[in-house]
Amino acid sequence: MIIDNHPFQVNQHGHLEIGGVDSIDLVNKYGTPLYVYDVHIIRENCRAFIETFKELNVPAKVAYASKAFSTVAMLQVMKQEGMCLDVVSEGELFTALQADFPTENIHLHGNNKSMNELRMAIDHNIGCIVVDNFREIELVAELLQEQDKQMDVLMRVTPGIESKTHQYIMTGNEDSKFGFNLTNGQAEQAFQQLFQHSHIQFKGLHCHIGSQIFETDRFLIATEVLFQELKKWKDTYQFIPEVLNLGGGYGIRYTSQDAPIPYAVYVKELVNEVKKQVEALAIPMPEIWLEPGRAIAGNAGITLYTVGAIKQIPGIRNYIAVDGGMTDNLRPALYQAKYEAILANKANQAPDSEVSVAGKCCESGDMLIWDLPLPQVHSNDILAVFSTGAYGYSMANHYNRIAKPAIVFIEDGEDKLVLKRETYQDITRNDLSYE
Ligand SMILES: Cc1ncc(COP(=O)(O)O)c(C=O)c1O
Ligand SMILES: N[C@@H](CCCC[NH3+])C(=O)O
């Protein structure tokens, strides 16, 4: 039996099966809460982007936005799939180095890169720095001059587009902390500092309009806006872009309300738009770079929890509490994000009641799912929440000093622990005594 809306199955025991492995066996082996990834799905997601560019015969780079989910094992899979990598901090870059990721395929982002971050990137000869503000141009130039090195640089711009998504995950609007503003001339001012700089190879523009977006129209408008600026720069400075990085943001299915577009469609429409603009401008086709994060990891991940306390408030609501919550999945508390879930040990039973799923943190807002249809729930049932592969572990935190879950990868019917469950020793490792 296939599970509605999600790429997983129910086995002959009536248990949720992930990549051919019984989820209840995983619970018995590794405990809960547990993040589980079907690696086959991760690979398929990468290939949907890469293969479409190949089919279209368009020069391209697909960089996984590692903020979505960064561990050594995940970045090794990205390396195997021929993906490039977008990192936004020393920690993400360090993880990439631990995974032995080819540094020339790493791009550094961030709206407040420190001198140390930039130095680390330059020391490791990463492929590209995406500059975000004027101070950063100064820092990059200073470091490159000091070391007499060259570096490929893109400029992040805000195209002034409000994407249809939660306000906290919009990034392309003018009133944004990210990037240079196109309309008030700041982008052009930055361009003048970058273009023909002795140590900077200025390659082109980057924009990212937001995250969890389902329509292609905003991406196409953003592309058009970038080309309006590029036309000015061609006419005035004879600048021809070699790279156009159109960011990430492709929406995935969390619930049946979400209707994601196949990734190939985004790629095809973006390529068509760039071709149209390139012809109008009479310039060679630049390399197109994309940066999907959620689209690569999101639907491949499931979180398994054990149900504990059950609280019934007659006439009001029934709560079930699980052994995790906002510490392993901050998204519902932060963005009111919606998820779907089933009972992994009763996966073939039809829902006949509604419960709300509470986390275990000392916080009323620690609710994972409101009004979830489920079969009768009992303590010790296993709840499986779908589509937690992106921005789950990566935004996990230690509120209430709760330890972070383990992560298991499944591929070819085999399970492999790729991140150990944290211990309380891990949590208190940096505590120093005051006695
Ligand atoms: C610059 C940049 N690139 C890529 C991404 C990845 O976004 P998503 O995970 O929605 O694809 C983000 C996050 O929104 C971002 O800020
Ligand atoms: N963390 C956000 C997305 C932010 C993407 C990075 N700019 C989410 O969970 O949806």
Residue limits of CATH 2.40.37.10 in the chain? 9-38+298-428
CA of 378 to the centre of ligand 1 (A): 39
CB 38 within 8 A of CB 30: no
Residue limits of CATH 3.20.20.10 in the chain? 109-292
Amino acid 165: pLDDT: 63
Which of 378, 393, 408, 375 has the alpha carbon at shortest distance from 22?
Answer: 408
3-state SS track over 309-322:
EEEEECCCEEEEEE
Cis check for the bond before 33: say yes or no (omega within 30 of 0).
Answer: yes
- Catalytic position from the list 84, 207, 361, 362: 362
Amino acid 169: pLDDT: 56
Torsional class of 151: left (φ above 0), alpha (ψ -120 to 50), beta (otherwise): beta
Amino acid 161: pLDDT: 78
Distance CA 178, CA 1 (A): 45
Instruction: Give the rounded percent of residues in the chain with a pLDDT score beyond 90.
Output: 92
Which of 273, 266, 269 has the alpha carbon at shortest distance from 295?
Answer: 266
- The whole-number average pLDDT for the span 209-225 is 92
Identify which of 64, 66, 67 to mutate to test ligand 2's pocket (most ligand atoms within 8 A of the CB).
67
Please identify, by atom number, the ligand 2 atom nearest to the C-alpha of residue 293: 5
Torsional class of 325: left (φ above 0), alpha (ψ -120 to 50), beta (otherwise): left
Query: Is pLDDT at 201 greater than 60 in this prediction?
Result: yes
| Two tokens, residue 253 | 């299915």
Distance CA 63, CA 22 (A): 32
Tens-digit pLDDT profile for residues 340-385 = 999 999 999 999 999 999 999 999 999 999 999 999 999 999 999 9
What residue ranges line ligand 1, CB within 6 angstroms?
Answer: 65, 68, 86, 109, 171, 208, 211, 247-250, 291-295, 390
Q: The domain 109-292 belongs to what CATH superfamily?
A: Alanine racemase (3.20.20.10)
CB 251 within 8 A of CB 213: yes
Residue 135 labelled as part of a binding site: no
Distance CA 79, CA 73 (A): 10
- The whole-number average pLDDT for the span 410-426 is 97
Rounded (10°) CA dihedral 385, 65, 163, 159:
170
ipTM metric: 0.98
> Would you call 362 a catalytic residue per the annotation?
yes
Tens-digit pLDDT profile for residues 108-161 = 999 999 999 999 999 999 999 999 999 999 999 999 999 999 999 999 999 887
Amino acid 176: pLDDT: 81
Please tell me the number of the ligand nearest to residue 211's CA.
1
| Two tokens, residue 200 | 């900077």
CATH of domain 9-38+298-428: 2.40.37.10
CB 161 within 8 A of CB 219: no
Mean pLDDT of the chain: 95
On whether the pTM is more than 0.80, the answer is yes
